[in-house]
Amino acid sequence: MKKYQIGPRPEAVEEALLVGFREVEIATIGHFRHRGFVSRELRPIAPITGTLTGTAVTVAIPGTCSTMLHHAMSVVRPGDVVVIDRLGDTRHACLGGGVAFAAKVAGAVAVVLDGPCTDSDEIIEVGLPVFCTGVSAITTRLNDLGGAVNLPVSCGNVPVMPGDLVVMDACGVLILPPDEAPEVLAEAVARQARAGRNRGLIEAGQKLGDLSGASKMIAAALEG
């Protein structure tokens, strides 16, 4: 097996989908979908405003080595999200101010990292949104151990394919296969349009349990 493996550059997600999902909160999708949500341990290192979207460029790098990540910066295009699989390593930070700057200049929308970062202040100064498991002072090096770019990876307990749609906001990260995204977007837009419809009724004195039907379910169970 080759030490380094590089797959073809994926097609960019359709612009209409990227724009459409920017108007949707991920928590709205969480009301009806269960797959694709990365572990809640991956949190933004700085506050996120609105919803971000992009096309997944996948990177897999082992343990102490970030050689392939450095090379991957030459593959990143404007509108891409760099999704990094650390292959189980939770100790070494592969992303710091320098790599974040290179990703930002290349046009990356964000980085989703299944492990810690370092130089968080520098990353924030660069202005690159980063979702990761925390911060570590122990960094990776150019140890020439191998890795992969644009091949299937796992990040935050979710399988990610090159070219997947990545949706990010303050609540977390969602990975969607492009062929499933239109149906998800349609349902999310419809649900979001109904969001908040009960506020006026609750202010007028009606109870949430009556409006949602929860109280009816409980009453029927108690009677049974």
Of 220 and 76, the structure prediction assigns the larger pLDDT to 76
**Contact present, 56 and 178 (Cβ < 8 Å):** no
Q: What are phi and psi of 147, to 5 degrees?
A: 160, 180
Q: What is the predicted pLDDT for the residue at 204?
A: 81
pTM above 0.85, yes or no: yes
Position 207 pLDDT exceeds 90: no
**Contact present, 109 and 135 (Cβ < 8 Å):** no
Listing DSSP states for 131-195 in one string gives EES-B-S-B-B-----EEESS-EEETTEEE-TT-EEEEETTEEEEE-TTTHHHHHHHHHHHHHHT
The per-residue pLDDT for range 125-172, each reduced to its tens digit, is 999 999 999 999 999 999 999 999 999 999 999 999 999 999 999 999
What tokens were used for 68? 């392939």
R_g over Cα of the chain? 20
The per-residue pLDDT for range 13-49, each reduced to its tens digit, is 999 999 999 999 999 999 999 999 999 999 999 999 9
**Contact present, 92 and 136 (Cβ < 8 Å):** yes
The per-residue pLDDT for range 65-88, each reduced to its tens digit, is 999 999 999 999 999 999 999 999
Position 213 pLDDT exceeds 90: no
Q: What is the mean pLDDT of residues 47-53?
A: 96
Position 200 pLDDT exceeds 90: no
Position 195 pLDDT exceeds 80: no
Lowest mean pLDDT among 126-130, 198-202, 220-224: 198-202
Task: Mark residue 191 as left, alpha or beta (left: phi above 0; alpha: psi -120 to 50; beta: remaining).
Answer: alpha
Q: What is the predicted pLDDT for the residue at 196?
A: 65
Q: What is the predicted pLDDT for the residue at 48?
A: 94
Listing DSSP states for 31-72 in one string gives TT--SSBPPTT-EESS---S-EEEEEEEEE--TTB-HHHHHH
Buried b (16+ CB within 10 A) or exposed e, 135-153: ebeebbeeeebbbbbbbeb
Q: What is the mean pLDDT of residues 90-119?
A: 98
